[in-house]
Amino acid sequence: MNVAAESVKLADAVRLKRGVDITQLPLGAQEGFILSRVDGRTVVKDLVASTGLPQDVVLDALKFLLKLGVVHKDYNPTEDAEADAADGPPEVLPQELADEPCDLAADARLRILQVEYETTRGTHYGVLGLKRAASQAEIKQAYRETSREFHPDAFFRKNLGSFKARLEKIFKHVKKAYDVLSDETARREYDKALPPPPAPRPKTPKAPAVPPPPDWRLDPKRVKEAEERRLKRNPMVQRVERAQRHLAKARELLAAKQLAQAANEIGLASAQDPWNEDVRQLQDQINQQVRDDKFAKAVARIELATAAGAGFNPEQEEKELAEAVRSAMEMEGASAAIYVKLGRALIKGGHPKLAKGPADRALKLAPDDDKAIMLTVDLLEDARLFHNAVRLLEKAHQANPSPERAERIQRLRKAADRK
Amino acid sequence: MASNKVIGIDLGTTNSCVAVMENGAPRVIPNKGGYKTTPSVIAAAENGRRLVGQIAKRQAVTNAENTVYAAKRIIGRKWGHPAVETARHAVPYAIVEGPHGDVRVRLRGRDHSIPELSGAVLAEMKKVAEDFLGEPVEKAVITIPAYFNDGQRQATKDAGVIAGLDVIRIINEPTAAALAFGFGKKLQKTVCVFDLGGGTFDISILDIGDGVYEVVCAAGDTFLGGEDFDNRVIDWLAFGFMKDQNVDLRQDRMALQRLKDAAETAKCELSTADTTSINLPFIITPPGGGEALHLQTTLPRQKLEELTADLVDRCIQITDRALKDAGLTVKDIGDVLLVGGMTRMPIVQHRVEEFFKRSPNKGVHPDEVVALGAAVQGAALMEQEAGKKPDMLLLDVTSHNLGIMVAGGYLQTLIEANTTVPCSASHLFTTVRDNQTQVKIVVLQGNERRAEDNEVLGEFLLTGLRDAPRGQVTVEVTFEINSDGIVSVHARDTETGAQQSITVTTASALTDDEMKGILEANKAEALASKSRDQTDQTRLECERLLRDIDKLWPEAEKVFGATEAGKATLRNSKSAVEKARADVAGGDKAALQETLGVLQRTHQLVKGAAR
């Protein structure tokens, strides 16, 4: 290709080179954005206007793109036509499309593929199924027939699968083709840009002056190296690897009981690879531990307070404790065992009333937990609600029978009867 | 089992009409009273019962505050819209602001949304059809003025759902008229439809041939119709009365209702007679007390024409502009159809004839042709669904520019007016701050340059963007107008391909919850089908993702297989995908939702690797 094409002028129209996979290019956001507006017709001046970027930024980006060989400005339609002749519209339906579940017959599917080919690689004439010399009346009729065939209404309430997008594309192109061909001036312009009809295609003499350099793609070793490089460069692989490193570190830290650091590491791992189940599980586990840890600290504080403050200023103490319990209760996600522990501490400190909240929460979190049940039984007995206490205790007795419990049940029954 | 028949409903401002395809030809269905049209009037009676149609109209004078007419003029409008302001001063019933900036009507202490009221009319039309056909009917095609915007279309569709109808299509009234006109005629010509109805004026130019009805241009005015003509007469009567008696009749709700009836009757009579007398005895008791006053006057046709001359002028101006927009002259027009009751007015006919230099086609019935066309379109769609090829196709256009607000408060048009629907357009949005996680998009519809002069369809919040330096996240937003003329918006991160969620922050439509409430009050059935649809949608999406993952899998295997860490990832994803595959086959709604999440994550991973 022409190397001197590196300077870009405002009046040039650049065009994406055929066969370039733009997803594989090392482009920044701005270049990508500019490239998204390149369509072969828009001149550079309009690109500047439509992207809203400064003129020199656009020019620089285009120069870069030209250097990369992604776009070219001296567009030659015959080249494209020849490339087209190489493949041409599909003649058989690919298996995966034939197997796709949708309400279209096989021949309808193939027809859609063929017309879709015309919309991307063919001409406006091809889309409407017309000869180059078609008259206006023929164009109009072809437009109407094609519309009736491809208008979404022709597939009313049908399951179309991947053909839906194809049909939409075709329908859009049918209208566009008609708009161009039905307007004599636009049609002349369009015809001018078209390559000559393919029938008597002039053979361009191919005289390679210099033998082309050996294609590296023919050297299996270099191909393999390139492939390996490509695989390693894949950003997803890098992300996944980084995530694995963070995950391993988090496990180590967790084993060393360094909770806060472990939480940080697992957070990093999750940011790199949010799709990893292991990461998610460990993160849940660590988060649970962090919460439990915080909670245990709160409980310890309460225990300390009940022990030290006994008899000092009962009213004040009760108030402060109630506040501490309330804030402990507000912590989401603590386990039942923690609430049981808290409840016990409060009873021990002489505040059975405050223990009711934690006990309720523990029972709600784990309705069959023996310790939670026993805590509640103690509280119920204390509150002289013997009937309820008996009911719960029987449940616990059934699960874990013991003579003391049987005896206690008897005692509570009697108390209930007395009451 | 409901009938597979589709009814066509012309939901009019003043009257509604229903038609059905029978034995290969469309016909209008008369109501129980034998009339082919039913008044679009809804009332709440004293005992709380809801009255619709003729019976509601009959009691309007004695129950003016609780009788709603011309609901179509405010359907889909936001509170504060000029049309709503005008209506508030012109009607005897109370229009109040709804919970999210929409419009409600207060009847006997309960607020009703407009789709609910229009839904009552549609339900009545459904009943008329069912009584006539002797079987339940579900599917319907509903017509609306071509110049209705997205909000009005959506609200009309909601009304259909509230009425228990499966609205298979919303079509434009003038287009429907052309469909009925061309039915079975094998036309090859350009037709102009001049539709002056009770509340709106529409002009559409269609190119008809080979069974294709292609709208080439649609224009109109949603604030121009028979009601405006009536209001001129009402004002004239009230003014005359004020001069004589020094009392403003418009302040009294019952008097206003009687004036309105009298004005409408006089206007209709003047279509055939040269002069008419208006007699309203005991119209009002003077505010200071004393004997009741009477209104007695005559209105000559010439006076009516003088009062409304500017309205007719506006119609002709819009027609002229539409022709110019389509690049046509009056010579290109092969036929002119007059649609809507207002085209019975001699001056309207005369001016149309003068403009087009040809006499309008007399072959269509102005009140019925629209419903007939809707029935024709409904039948054609059902034939398509059954796999037969009907002999007609409608190519309609959007009548407004659709765009977004850009810096400086201007409208940037993405889809131009008179583009054939369905159509779509995409626009790229870029973040302007570091770590910006959301973008606000204001979607507008209208033909004015300044954003504020157009109708705001909605404000969308594009949320959940990736954390990245500014300019690195580009989101492609696609605006789509479907065959009903209803707009939908999707967004996609151009780099990761992830769908972005969009939240509508302003819209005049009913929320899903409200819709639910109304539907529950009416019928639980429609709701179930909606949820079924959603589950099906989720399942389809899951299947699509699975197919995609399967396709990309070999490449991902190659990429990840190269490293140890990658292998673990592969194993993880593989088991996740296998589990998902099992869930998709069985699985209820909740399980499917969860599966969808898992699949979306895996899909992103695989896609990222395979790129």
A166/A249 same-domain check: no
A79/A100 same-domain check: no
Phi-psi domain of A52 (left: phi exceeds 0; alpha: psi -120 through 50; beta: other): left
Instruction: For residues A167 and A172, give the distance between their C-alpha atoms in angstroms, rounded to a whole number.
Output: 8
List Cα–Cα distances, B145 to A70, B223, B433, in angstroms: 49, 11, 43
A21, closest residue in chain B (CA to CA): B611
Instruction: For residues B151 and B444, give the distance between their C-alpha atoms in angstroms, rounded to a whole number.
Output: 11
A305 in a domain, yes or no? no
Q: Which of A50, A85, A120 is the last residue of a domain?
A: A85
CATH code for the domain of A72:
1.10.10
A152 in a domain, yes or no? yes
A302 in a domain, yes or no? no
Residue B310: predicted pLDDT: 93
Question: Does residue B562 contact residue B577 with C-beta atoms inside 8 Å?
Answer: no
Give the lowest-confidence range in A33-37, B95-99, B231-235, B246-250.
A33-37
* CA angle, B289 then B292 then B293, to 5°: 115
A268 in a domain, yes or no? yes
- A236 vs chain B: nearest CA distance in angstroms? 5
Residue A1: predicted pLDDT: 39
A183/A102 same-domain check: yes
Query: What are the chain A neighbours of B483 within 8 Å (beta carbons)?
Result: 152-153
A104/A152 same-domain check: yes
- Does residue B536 carry a catalytic annotation? no
**Residue B198: exposed, middle, or buried by beta-carbon count in 10 A (0-12, 13-18, 19+)?**
buried
Question: Does residue A381 contact residue A389 with C-beta atoms inside 8 Å?
Answer: yes
Residue B99: predicted pLDDT: 82
Q: Which amino acid is at A245?
A: R
pLDDT of A305 higher than 70: no
A50 in a domain, yes or no? yes
A30, closest residue in chain B (CA to CA): B471
- ipTM computed for the complex: 0.72
A72/A112 same-domain check: no
Q: Do B384 and A172 touch (CB under 8 A)?
A: no
- B560 vs chain A: nearest CA distance in angstroms? 6
A355 in a domain, yes or no? no
Give the lowest-confidence range in A328-337, B188-197, B295-304, B392-401.
A328-337
A79/A101 same-domain check: no
Q: Do B559 and A141 touch (CB under 8 A)?
A: no
Domain of A16, in residue numbers: 3-85
A122/A144 same-domain check: yes
A81/A163 same-domain check: no
Of B395, B471, B564, nearest to A29 by CB-CB distance is: B471
Quick check: bond before B360 cis, omega within 30? no
A104, closest residue in chain B (CA to CA): B387
Q: Quote the DSSP letter at residue B361.
A: B
What tens digit of pLDDT does each residue of B364-396 get? 888 899 999 999 999 999 988 888 888 889 999
Residue A406: predicted pLDDT: 85
| Catalytic one of B5, B36, B72, B267 | B72
A155 in a domain, yes or no? yes
Residue A214: predicted pLDDT: 67
Q: Do B384 and A155 touch (CB under 8 A)?
A: yes
Of B395, B558, B601, nearest to A275 by CB-CB distance is: B601
A152, closest residue in chain B (CA to CA): B422
A46/A117 same-domain check: no
Q: Which amino acid is at A202?
A: P
Q: Do A145 and B210 touch (CB under 8 A)?
A: yes
Angle between the B369-385 and B173-182 helix axes, to the nearest 10 degrees? 80
- Does residue B173 carry a catalytic annotation? yes
A365 in a domain, yes or no? no
What tens digit of pLDDT does each residue of A317-330 get? 677 777 777 777 76
Q: Which of A85, A111, A129 is the last residue of a domain?
A: A85
B555, closest residue in chain A (CA to CA): A231
Total domains, chain A: 3
- A86 vs chain B: nearest CA distance in angstroms? 26
Q: Which of A193, A225, A253 is the last residue of a domain?
A: A193
What tens digit of pLDDT does each residue of A328-351 get? 776 666 678 878 888 887 787 777
- Does residue B10 carry a catalytic annotation? yes
pLDDT of A5 higher than 50: no
Of A140, A171, A234, nearest to B559 by CB-CB distance is: A234
Give the lowest-confidence range in B398-412, B456-470, B547-561.
B456-470
Q: Do A277 and B576 touch (CB under 8 A)?
A: yes
Question: Does residue B455 contact residue B412 with C-beta atoms inside 8 Å?
Answer: no
| Count of CB pairs separated by less than 8 Å, A with B | 109
A159/A102 same-domain check: yes
Instruction: For residues B195 and B167, give the distance between their C-alpha atoms in angstroms, rounded to a whole number.
Output: 23
List Cα–Cα distances, A208 to A1, A368, B164, in angstroms: 13, 86, 74
A74/A122 same-domain check: no
Question: Does residue B447 contact residue B457 with C-beta atoms inside 8 Å?
Answer: no
**Residue B82: exposed, middle, or buried by beta-carbon count in 10 A (0-12, 13-18, 19+)?**
exposed
**Phi, psi for residue B233 in degrees, rounded to 5:** -70, -45
Residues paired with residue B143 on neighbouring β-strands, in sequence order: B10, B171
Please state, rounded to an integer, the average pLDDT across all residues of chain B: 86
A121/A186 same-domain check: yes
List Cα–Cα distances, A132 to A140, A145, A172, B7, B21, in angstroms: 14, 18, 21, 45, 42
Of B385, B551, B564, nearest to A156 by CB-CB distance is: B385
Angle between the A277-308 and A314-330 helix axes, to the nearest 10 degrees? 180
What tens digit of pLDDT does each residue of A77-103 get? 445 444 444 456 777 777 777 777 788
Q: Do A273 and B601 touch (CB under 8 A)?
A: no
CATH code for the domain of A138:
1.10.287.110
Give the lowest-confidence range in A320-329, A383-392, B352-361.
A320-329
